[in-house]
Chains A and B, each alone.
Chain A
Amino acid sequence: MPDDPIREMSDGTLVKAYNEAASMSVFCHAHPLTGLRPRLAAHGVVTAQDLRRIPSESRVRVTGILVIVHTPPTRSGRRVMFITMEDETGLLDVVAFPKAQKDYARSILTSEMITVEGILQRQGTDGRSKSIVLERVILTLTGPLSKFLPHEETRQRSG
């Protein structure tokens, strides 16, 4: 038995994820964050699924692969960034208002996987509509994660 079964398991998944990321446009075995979850959890990072049981207005930290950044036109002309990320349990919707954009717009637009912190907003029946209002971007991409990322462009940034 390995000394640290969780670590071994997650690293095995990570290796497959690395290979898939380096060789394909999709992930077949698992989402790449699956293998990283124990270490992310240790840093207080919750999943999209966890958000269903966390009260609204809580400060949360999530990590995800960036899927879409959308900046629809608004009547006021004020730009709002709607950021869709994905972890192994589902989609994460993050909203960045101009104040947050000031510090983090470039990180958001140039990264492939980020960790963000913000305030959870839950609306609707059972709070099924969930979004996170961005406070800061924490790209914890050093250590084990960066080794397994498919691209070499990752860098450390802090808020």
Chain B
Amino acid sequence: MKKNEPPRPGRARLTGIPRQSAGTRGMAVRRRDGGYPAFRGTLRSGGTGVSPAGFGHIHGDANSSRKKAMDTFVHLEVQSAYSFLWGTFDPEDLVRQVAALGQQAVALTDDGLYGAVRFYKAAVRAGIQPIVGARLSLWDGSFVTLLATDFAGYGNLCRLLSVAFEGGTSPQHPVSKQDLNHWSNGLVCLAGGRGSGIRSALERGRIDAARFKLLELKEILHNPEHLFVVLQNHDHPADPGIMERAFQLASQLHLPVAASNAVAFLNPRDYLIHRTMIGIQERHHHRKVRSLPSDRFFLASGEEMKRKIPYPQAIENTGYIATLCREFSLPVGKLHPPSLQRPEEASRKLSSLCLKELSRLHRPVPPAYLRQFDRETAAIDKLELSDFFLLVKMVVDFARNRGIRHSVRGSAAGSLVVHLLLGGVDPLAHNLLFERFINEGRGDMPDIDLDFDSDRRDEVIHHTMNLFPRRTAMVCTIHTFKVRSAVRLAARALGYPLDEIDRLASCLPWSLRGRDLNAALEDLPELKDSPLHHEGRLIEVAAKLTNLPFQSSVHLGGVIVAPDDIKSWTPVGSSPKGLPVGHLDKDDVDALGLLKLDLLGLRMHTAIRKALEILKDKGVVLDMDRMPLDDRKTYALLRSTESIGIFQLESPGQRNLLGRLQPTNFGDLISEISLFRPGPVTGNMVEVYLKRRHGEEPIRIPHEDLTPVLAETFGVFLFQEQVLRIVHIFAGLSYAEADAFRRAMTKDRKSKTMDRLKQQFIQGAISKGHGRSLAEKVFQQASTLASYGFCKAHAASFAHITYQSAYLKAHHPQAFYLGLLNAGHVGSYPPSVMLNEARRRGIPVYPPHINAGGTEYEADGSGIRAPLVVVNGVGPAMARRIVAERKKRGPFRSREEFLSRLPLPDRIVNVLSMAGALEGLEGQEWELIREVANA
């Protein structure tokens, strides 16, 4: 719409939105293409016609408008908990409350768009019109609220917010006039609200200054007719006067007005939570920020708003603005993959690469591999996914060329195409199933999750970003308050002293797994005598904070690859490492159908790489990815249960299971990893499996047709792939239907769905000649398995790394321990436990010393020398200084010489002395030891 063009007739009709109308009901139904429609609800109670009410006195029929406003008021300035440590509620709670108030639409206008997708989905589900917007800081230090009228407007909002978030994950920069002018198309602008320069000028009676700012905005905005002057009243004595001045000024400038309550909490009683959040900002983050002045900034009813803001046009125009935003929708539920080349071209390229690798690995190529290859490429072609595979290959090729250890995890490991393109386990050798990964029934983007050496993962991410410039960003992660952090931070905000906070939080678990704080205080024996019992207000506040978001950060490895400009989809800020990071978390990315590559860091890859480097220095070169998987010494070690440091098998439960399962081959490792899961453990499947594995109980399989599926697990239902095969073989359903069955059993399990699936399964089984009772029995077992079974492809992929780490431990323990100790935090156990085990296995452990070792654990003959950084107070920088000095001018001969060459604080010298790091030097005395010995 061009500047100064009046609102179009028809589009701007102000009516109500019936919650039960056909249009409303349609909101929760996906289109056939998987997308949600734009909001089509029709507003209920008539309206003022073709233009907004409230151009000063032009449409000022207060009496007639008042009745209509009762049903049509829309909150347009609402900040949820995604305005971190400001708003006090989740978007889902907002939607529920809006529905309870009988309001038909609501906006979410946080500082960013972190909560936008979940808000949109919740509102659509509830039949509420979602309006997505944001609060934006301007060049003059004031604020406006911008609302998207369509998806293009949403893109512009993302671009404007990207300016604000540049260089960080919180809004730090004001938007310039040029930016706003450039990207304000498709946006409604609400000016003059709390914190704005306009309101500030009006408050001080500087009408001319307020007029200037409004005229400036009107001039800058692409759609000046979408500029509204906000009227707010929070029951402060000055508010009525400011409202009147704003109204008069708007009239003079022919600008419409809109009522707003600048919502930060759903109910007045949550003002305490808001103040606590501000307290956390002040005392914990040391920010200068002021809380809202009263409890009036809540989600008021239309009736209440009408009382507070006696300007009917302002009330009425909130509905008008909602109508302006009616065309807005997020393309939720549709796929938006990037496209690099034409599908036919990509398909040809993919086939060529795979066949080349297949012929390299197998000469001659067994027919089974060719059949599997044809089956997979047919499915990939049908879903036009060749491009996607080639894209992932580009990423993996980079890692390969740089020697960065990597592996595929998840269901993708069940694909021969993935095996040929990206490496990993051979799916035919381990009886894996491609259809668990991709089948024609899946409407979402397939996931290929990749693990890389943690130390080098950033190289891969940077390369991926460079491959697709301006189309990529990291997925964000939203951190929510856990109960322990909620108690600690709330106590801090409420002014408790630090030692008291420690006492109050003692024994509180990090997470209560669904239990609320009050219940935990009652149930958990370690909290029986907790002083928290006497802190009612703190408990109330902490309980309300728990699970609310409080900050965003960068996902460990999720990279979004958008089909076009990433800023059309999300605002983009910057991680501490300088990577672009969006406002979409992993669920948002899935909802929008964007491609997400999970480029994860795996410390075990780092540990293995470091161990291999140590061995290489000793002349031992191992090709871990190609070695046979049948080494007897490796399995003997595993059977001994000495599995500390071995990938996936070091937990107490896994160590226990190792002793009972006594693995002798790679298949046992896959089972071991899959068995120790909540489902099999609580379903007593482990006992049955072990007895059958050791021949202590006969193997029972419900029907001979299922023997090929269940024989490998002795008749025990263990893998998700078995569900698919059973449904396919026994009931004759396609793999796509079988996978839908599996997913429904896993995620849905609504009785109606279950009944339908059961009928489908039983009918299929009967038509294959099976009896009803047998069909029901198999259905029961398959549906139970579906809820707990583990993905065999994922287990096989992990088992490969398990085997590699176990092989190193069995054959090269010194290198194995050194790799683990130098790879950062690997697994469950601290370095002290690893060193104790190394010592027990005959590997001497030497203390750090100023004349030996350095900043990492090092081989010292057949032993391990601890680094200087394990000494309390000696950080990497100090350790580097000591090592550099030693290398430069030779070993330290005496304590005095050491101190003269490196003047260190007495505290550090004493602690080095206690640690034995000065042992053997001239003049080194053992006073401390003697002191303790004589104590």
Chain A interface (Cβ within 8 Å of chain B)? Answer: 11-12, 15-16, 18-20, 22-31, 67-68, 70-76, 79, 82, 84, 86, 88-91, 93, 101-103, 105-106, 108-110, 123-125, 127-131, 147-148
Contact = CB atoms under 8 A, between A and B. Distances in A.
Given A19-B929, A102-B525, A125-B662, A24 B828 contact: no
Interface in B828-867: 828-833, 835-837, 839-840, 845-848, 866
B697 interface: no
A24 B866 contact: yes
Interface in B898-918: 911-912, 914-916
Contacts of B661: 124
B506 interface: yes
B642 to A, nearest CB: 8
Contacts of A106: 507, 525-526, 528-529
Contacts of A124: 656, 659-662
A26 B835 contact: yes
Contacts of A89: 840
Given A16-B916, A19-B929, A24-B871, 16 more contacts: A23-B872, A24-B848, A27-B832, A28-B866, A67-B829, A75-B678, A76-B682, A88-B836, A103-B525, A105-B524, A105-B526, A123-B660, A124-B659, A125-B660, A125-B662, A128-B641
B640 interface: yes
Contact of B833 (A76, A86, A108): A86
B660 A129 contact: yes
Most central of A19, A22, A29 by chain B CB within 10 Å: A19
Contacts of B524: 79, 105
Contacts of B659: 123-125, 127-130
A23 B932 CA distance: 13
Interface stretch (B555-563, B607-615, B647-655): B647-655
A1 B920 CA distance: 25
Contacts of A130: 656, 659
Given A24-B870, A26-B835, A129 B655 contact: yes
Contacts of B839: 30-31
B526 A74 contact: no
A123 B640 CA distance: 13
A123 B833 CA distance: 24
B933 interface: yes
A109 B847 contact: no
Nearest to A20: B915
A68 B507 CA distance: 14
A28 B644 CA distance: 18
Contact of A22 (B529, B835, B848, B914): B914
B935 to A, nearest CB: 6
A105 B525 contact: yes
14 contacts: A19-B929, A20-B915, A26-B835, A27-B832, A28-B846, A68-B652, A70-B651, A73-B513, A88-B836, A102-B525, A123-B660, A124-B656, A124-B660, A128-B641
A12 B929 CA distance: 9
Contacts of A23: 871-872, 911-912, 914-915
B548 interface: no
B929 A16 contact: yes
Contacts, number: 145
B502 to A, nearest CB: 12
A93 B644 CA distance: 13
Given A70-B651, A76-B682, A129-B657, A28 B847 contact: yes
A5 to B, nearest CB: 15
Nearest to B831: A26
A19 B653 contact: no
Looking at A25, A29, A91, which has the most chain B CB atoms within 10 Å of its CB?
A91
B928 interface: yes
For this complex, into which size category does the number of interface residues on chain B fall?
35 or more
B876 to A, nearest CB: 14
Given A19-B928, A25-B872, A103-B525, A75 B655 contact: no
B554 to A, nearest CB: 27
Nearest to A72: B678
Nearest to A131: B656
A22 B656 CA distance: 33
Contacts of B640: 128
A131 B914 CA distance: 36
Interface in B11-61: none
A62 B850 CA distance: 37
Contact of A91 (B509, B655, B866): B655
Given A29-B847, A89-B840, A110 B829 contact: no
Interface string B799-841: 0000000000000000000000000000011111101110110
A23 B839 CA distance: 20
Interface string B369-393: 0000000000000000000000000
A85 B553 CA distance: 35
A72 B513 CA distance: 10
Contact of B507 (A72, A75, A109): A109
B639 interface: yes
Interface in B920-935: 928-929, 932-933, 935
Nearest to B662: A125
A16 B866 CA distance: 16
Contacts of B509: 71
Contact of B525 (A18, A70, A101, A110): A101
Given A89-B840, A109-B507, A129-B641, A26 B866 contact: yes
Interface in B513-570: 513, 524-526, 528-529
B55 to A, nearest CB: 60
A16 B847 CA distance: 11
B678 A73 contact: yes
Nearest to A67: B833
Contacts of B835: 26-28
A64 to B, nearest CB: 11
B682 A28 contact: no
A126 to B, nearest CB: 8
Interface in B283-321: none
A68 B828 contact: yes
B932 A15 contact: yes
With a 10 A CB-CB cut-off, give which of A28, A88, A129 has the most chain B CB atoms: A28
A21 to B, nearest CB: 10
A100 B506 CA distance: 20
Contacts of B928: 19
B652 A25 contact: no
Nearest to B863: A28
Contact of A93 (B652, B832, B915): B652
